Structure 1
Amino acid sequence: MILLLLGIFATGAGLGQATGGPFSWLGGGSKEPPREFPVLKPSKPVRMTIKSIKVAAPVMQVGLADDGSIAVPDLDRHNQAGWYEDGPTPGQFGPAIIVGHADTRTGPSVFHGLPKLPAGAKIEIVREDRSTAIFEVNSVERFDKGQLPAERVYGDYRRPGLRLITCGGEWRGGGIGYADNIIAFASLVSVRKP
């Protein structure tokens, strides 16, 4: 599965292959994941809330685009996030992947504020089973599109995790889009039952 994901992030969506290293100024540093954590049974995400950056958005399912990248919501649905349906659901072991636009020609989109998301901030994911998986941000990092720390982003199955991914950095236009990707790394810390 990791090999399929190496080419993710369609340029037209402003998402591209990522690499590099952390830029701690993005998310205000990093926070160690908790040592104890819950683990949930599979249940699809339907809505997400990130109060610290004013996100309250529906979450739709996305698969792979024709070019092998992870598909994202259409540009006319730029205030929706997309959960990669072939990966873990939020709360299962492994990194659940949720992608979204930073902006479009008409203005800011769902993950516009992602670079300002501070370590320790909470992300709430309402799931189809009506439970709410609550994640805590460990770090927000910027990666150049030239390389991707694939194992770190997609391969950590030691605990339930979450990756929020959008575009960022300098706008290059054409077939490139943005120069970088912004990735928020978060860990499951608690669950609210219905």
Structure 2
Amino acid sequence: MPESVLRKRPAQIVAPPPGTITGPLPAPPSAPGRPPFRAPAPRPLPTTPPRPMRGKRPWPVGLVALALLFVGLFVVAMGLGAATSFSLGGLFGGAGNEPPPREFPVLEPSRPELISIPAINVRAPILGVGLAADGSVAVPPLKRHNEAGWFDRGPTPGQFGPALIVGHADTRTGPSVFHSLPRMKAGQRIEITRADGSVAVFEVNTVEHFDKGKLPAQRVYGDYSRPSLRLVTCGGRWIGGSTGYQDNIVVFASLVDADNV
């Protein structure tokens, strides 16, 4: 091997001294006969927007299927509308943005003063009652057994919620104000004259019997979905003692009208 070759030392990579800031590596020298790679220069942006392409672009298959589906539904809806007098204008128009009309009146609070039930010939004054000593709803005193008692810790008749009016069925001397309550039927009217001069008109929904130990309290006292009325008296078999009659008779009624408001 020639001596000049033996004197050559292998290449060494020398790290820069500590603290030295190194710049980017220099570009590699170009090989003879081959120009270095250069990225093409960016094209200048057009000064005016390009013209739209002529001809029709194909529609995506999904959009075509969706459009056909809506057309089919619309045709079916038109057929149903013709058969049932259903108006498509109410479905697609602006009527849906308006609040629905109120189906029942709602009254401001006012104490009840008189109850009238034409179907069973009742016309009686109303007094306020609270809670009895045992926590149940109190009833009018026996000396006023021909008067009804409004539970004054609940809604007044015409407000949202169930207004509760109680009354005796009878006493030792004869029938009382709510003696004929079990004979009431759905659709009959109950009128409550209030202190503000208005008359709240209720329509009977149902007349039901419940064992006093199984009274559905939530259904009787807890429905605040609309203005309603509950008339309650005793009925069923006589047991005596502190229970008296075995059952409660409950008339469920809903407010349907209001006069002189």
Larger RCO (CA under 8 A, 6+ residues apart) = 1
Partner of residue 140 from structure 1, selected from 207, 213, 235: 207
Q: What root-mean-square deviation, in Å, do the aligned CA atoms of Structure 1 and Structure 2 show?
A: 1.0
One-letter code of the match for 2:248?
N
How far apart are residue 178 of structure 1 and its match? Answer: 0.3
What secondary structure, in the 3-state scheme, does the structure 1 residue paired with 2:182 have?
helix
Find the counterpart in structure 2 of residue 118 from structure 1: 185
- Which structure 2 residues correspond to residues 99-178 of structure 1 after superposition, within 5 A? 99-178=166-245
Q: Does 1:93 align with 2:160?
A: yes
What secondary structure, in the 3-state scheme, does the structure 2 residue paired with 1:146 have?
helix
Q: Matches of 2:236 and 2:225 in 1, distance apart?
A: 30
Find the counterpart in structure 1 of residue 256 from structure 2: 189
How far apart are residue 41 of structure 1 and its match? Answer: 0.3
**How many residues in Structure 1 have an aligned counterpart in Structure 2?**
160
Find the counterpart in structure 1 of residue 28 from structure 2: none
How far apart are residue 146 of structure 1 and its match? Answer: 1.9
Q: Matches of 1:174 and 1:66 in 2, distance apart?
A: 16
How far apart are residue 37 of structure 1 and its match? Answer: 0.5
Find the counterpart in structure 2 of residue 11 from structure 1: none
**Where has structure 1 moved over 2 Å in runs of 4 or more?**
none
Offset from partner CA, 1:151-193 (integer Å, 9 cap, x none) = 1101100000000000000111112200100000000000010
How far apart are residue 69 of structure 1 and its match? Answer: 1.2
How far apart are residue 141 of structure 1 and its match? Answer: 0.2
How far apart are residue 36 of structure 1 and its match? Answer: 1.3
How far apart are residue 60 of structure 1 and its match? Answer: 0.3
Offset from partner CA, 1:36-58 (integer Å, 9 cap, x none) = 10000000000000000010000
What secondary structure, in the 3-state scheme, does the structure 2 residue paired with 1:115 have?
helix
One-letter code of the match for 2:165?
I
Q: Does 1:36 align with 2:103?
A: yes
Find the counterpart in structure 1 of residue 117 from structure 2: 50
Q: Matches of 2:133 and 2:236 in 1, distance apart?
A: 25
Q: Does 1:79 align with 2:146?
A: yes
Q: Matches of 2:137 and 2:215 in 1, distance apart?
A: 14
Larger Rg: 2
How far apart are residue 150 of structure 1 and its match? Answer: 1.0
One-letter code of the match for 1:183?
V
More strand by share: 1
Find the counterpart in structure 1 of residue 127 from structure 2: 60
Q: Matches of 2:243 and 2:228 in 1, distance apart?
A: 29
One-letter code of the match for 2:178?
F
How far apart are residue 68 of structure 1 and its match? Answer: 1.0
One-letter code of the match for 2:135?
G
Q: Matches of 2:132 and 2:217 in 1, distance apart?
A: 18
Q: Matches of 2:158 and 2:140 in 1, distance apart?
A: 22
How far apart are residue 80 of structure 1 and its match? Answer: 0.2
Q: Matches of 1:121 and 1:109 in 2, distance apart?
A: 20
